[in-house]
Structure 1
Amino acid sequence: MSTHPTRHRPSGLAFALASALTFGGSGVFARPLMDAGMDPLHVTWLRVAGAALILLPVALRHWRLVLRRPLLLSAYGLFPMAGVQALYFAAIARIPVGIALLLEFLGPVLVLLWVRLVRRRPVSPAAVIGVVLAVAGLSLLLEVWAGMRLDAIGVGLALGAAAAQAAFFLLGDAMGEDADPLAVIAFGALIAGVVLGVLARPWTLPWELLGAPLPLGGIAPPGWAIAVWLALVCTAIAYFTGVSAIKRLSPQVAGGVAYLEVVTAIVLAWILLGEALNTMQLLGAVVIVTGAFIAQTAVPTTPTTTAASDLDEPTATTPADEGDPTRARALDRD
C-alpha cells in the first residue's frame, strides 16, 4: 500500500504559488516562437523534450519506478505532460493566451464533477453555486449573445486542455509516497517527448529560429533561450512544484491556488504581448475565476497519512476501514 505524506498547508501553499507563477508564463514565452513561424506542436515538443533531457539523470536514478508504477507513468506522460501542453499551445495559436488559459482552468471544475459523479462523494451547495458562476462567466468571456466571436476550434482545444489538466490534479494525488514527484515528472516528460516526437516530426522543425532574436516585450532574446526557459522553468520546475503542492494539500485546494496562474498569464500577456480583454470579457474572467475557485474549494478535505493509489496498486479495505467514515473517505479520495 502506498502512502501520502501528511497534508501540510504552509509548505503546500508555497509550492502551489510557485507552480502557478511558473506555469503562468508558458503561453507568453511560447508565443514568440509561434509568431516566428514555429508550429505549436513543435514548440510543445521542444518544451517537453527539453524537460526530459534536463531530468534524464533523475529518471536513470529511479529506473525501478517503471516496474512498480507503469500505468501511473504512462497516464502522466500522456495526459498532464503531452495532452495539456499540446492542446494549450494549439489553442493559443488561435485565441488569446489569457482566454485559452481561462478555458483550460475549467479543469478544477471537472475535478469537482469527477469527485461527485465517479467517486460519489457529496458536493456542497457552495460547490454547485461555483459551477453555475463558472459557466456564466464562460458565457460572458465568449460573448455568446453575439455569436461565437472566438475561433471555435481554439475554444475546443482549450477545453480539451481543461480535461487533461483535471487529470494532472487527480494523478498528482494518486502518486503515493512511494513515487518521487520529480521522478514521475521525469518519466512523464520522456514518454510525452516520444509520443509528441512521433506527431511533431522534429526533423521538420525550423531549427534556425532558435538562433534568431525573437521579440518579447521590449527585449529580443534568442529562440534557444526562450526554449530553455520553457523546458526548465515552465515545465520541470512548474510540474515539480505543482505535484508537491497536490501531495501536501489535495487536488481541490491546490487547484484553487493554481488560479493565480490565470492572473499571471493575463498580466504577462498584457505587458509582453499587448493582449487585453474588453470590459465584458474581463468581467467574465473574474466570474470564471471566482466561480471555479468556490466550486473546487467547497469540497471538504480530510488530512490523512496513509492511502492507496488508484493506479498500479489495488485499494485494500478491511472491515475496520468500512466502519471508519474518515478512513473510508480517505481511501475513496485517493
Structure 2
Amino acid sequence: MPVRTSESSRGGRGRGVGLGLALVSALAFGGSGVAAKPLIEAGLDPLHVVWLRVTGAALVMLPLAVRHRALPLRRPALIAGFGLLAVAGVQACYFAALSRIPVGVALLIEYLAPALVLGWVRFVQRRPVTRAAALGVVLAAGGLACVVEVWSGLSFDLLGLLCALGAACCQVGYFVLSDQGSDAGAEAPDPLGIIAHGLLVGAAVLTVVTRPWTMDWSVLAGSAQLRGTAVPAAVLLAWVVLVATVVAYITGVLSVRRLSPQVAGVVACLEAVIATVLAWVLLGEHLSAPQVAGGAIVLVGAFIAQSSAPAGGSPEPVASGGAERELSARGTAA
C-alpha cells in the first residue's frame, strides 16, 4: 500500500534522504539470501529458517503491534492476506528455492512479480494496460528464459524454479491487497502496524506448518560455511532477522514516505543485482554471460512494467518492486 506524502516532502533534502534509505533497504534485502543459504546447507530445513526469520522479526516489532493493536479488528482481511502471502508465502517459497537454485536466479524469477501483476490487471480486473507495459512483460519473460537457460533443457532444478515462481505469485497477491488498501486516504492504516501484525500472522501460520519443535536447534550453536570460512550460525541468523528483515522493512517504509512509489520501486530493483553480486563473491555462485544478460533484461522488463501507467489514465503504479518493502515480503527473498 503506497504511503501518500506531499510533493514538498519529496523534494530537496527529503528526496535525498529517501533515496539513501531506499538503497539501505535494497542492500539489506539483497544480503538475506547469502546469509540464509549457509544455514540451510548447515542442516536447517529451509522452512525452519523462514520460521526463525519471521518469528524473530515479529518479536522485535512486537511493540509496534501493541501500539496498533486495533488494526486487526479494523482491517482483518488485509492483515490476514498480508501475513499469509507477503510474509509466509513469499518467504517460504523463496527460501525453498534457495535450497535448490542459486540466490541470484531465485531472486530474478521473483522479480517477475511486476509483470504478473499486469496480467492480473488485464485479465482479472479487465483494465487496459499500455503497450510499454506489455513490452516489459515480454522482456521479463525473455530474460527469464536466458537466466534458466531453456536451450539446455532447464539445467536448474525444476522444483526450485517452481518455488521461486511461487514467491513471485505470492507477491502478486500482496500487490493486489496493497492496491485495495490504498484507497482509504487519510484513514489508511499505518504501514508499520501492518508490517508488525503481518509478521505475527506469518509467524503463527509458519509455526503450524513448519513445526519448529522438530528443528535441529544444535545447528544454531555451531557454525556454517561461507565460502570456506566458518561463521557462527547465530551471527548469520541475527543478520537475517535484524538486518535483512527488520532494518530492510523499516528503511523501505521510511523511504517511501519521502519518495513516490515508482522511484522507490526502481531503487528496489537493485536488490536483485546486489543479491547476485553478493552470492558471486561470498558463495561462489558464478553465472554465465547469457544468465547475466538475461538477468539485466529481466530487471529492465520489470522496470518498464512497474513504471508504466494504465492505458488512458494518469501514471499510477500497478506494481512496485518496492511495494513489498513499503508495507511488508519479496523477498523475499533472500
Query: So what's the TM-score if we normalise by structure 1?
Result: 0.83
Shift of 1:16: 3.3
Report what 1:179 is aligned to.
Answer: 189
Does residue 227 (structure 1) correspond to residue 237 (structure 2)? The answer is yes
Tell me which of 139, 157, 167 is aligned to 2:163: 157
Report what 2:298 is aligned to.
Answer: 288
Does residue 89 (structure 1) correspond to residue 95 (structure 2)? The answer is yes
SS at match of 1:215: strand
Does residue 6 (structure 1) correspond to residue 5 (structure 2)? The answer is yes
The separation in 2 between residues aligned to 1:251 and 1:156, in whole angstroms, is 28
Shift of 1:6: 2.6
Does residue 36 (structure 1) correspond to residue 42 (structure 2)? The answer is yes
State the AA in 2 paired with 1:55. Answer: M
SS at match of 2:231: coil
SS at match of 1:179: coil
Does residue 24 (structure 1) correspond to residue 30 (structure 2)? The answer is yes
State the AA in 2 paired with 1:271. Answer: V
After superposition, the Cα gap between the structure-2 partners of 1:234 and 1:73, relative to the gap in structure 1 and judged at 3 Å, is same
After superposition, the Cα gap between the structure-2 partners of 1:75 and 1:247, relative to the gap in structure 1 and judged at 3 Å, is farther
Q: What percentage of residue pairs aligned between the two structures are identical? A: 54
SS at match of 1:220: strand
Report what 1:138 is aligned to.
Answer: 144
Report what 2:203 is aligned to.
Answer: 193
State the AA in 2 paired with 1:86. Answer: A
The answer as to whether partners of 1:185 and 1:236 remain within 8 angstroms in 2 is no
| C-alpha distance after superposition, 1:297-330 (max 9, x if no partner) | 12266589xxxxxxxxxxxxxxxxxxxxxxxxxx
Alignment coverage as a number of residue pairs: 303
Does residue 98 (structure 1) correspond to residue 104 (structure 2)? The answer is yes
The separation in 1 between residues aligned to 2:107 and 2:41, in whole angstroms, is 18
Look at both structures and tell me which one has the larger radius of gyration over its CA atoms: 1
Shift of 1:14: 4.1
Report what 1:261 is aligned to.
Answer: 271
Shift of 1:112: 2.6
Shift of 1:155: 0.5
Structure 1, unpaired ranges of 5+: 305-334
State the AA in 1 paired with 2:97. Answer: A
Shift of 1:211: 1.4
Shift of 1:248: 5.9
Shift of 1:7: 5.8
State the AA in 2 paired with 1:29. Answer: A
Query: So what's the TM-score if we normalise by structure 2?
Result: 0.83
What CA RMSD, in Å, does the superposition of the two structures yield over aligned residues? 2.5
Tell me which of 86, 89, 113 is aligned to 1:107: 113
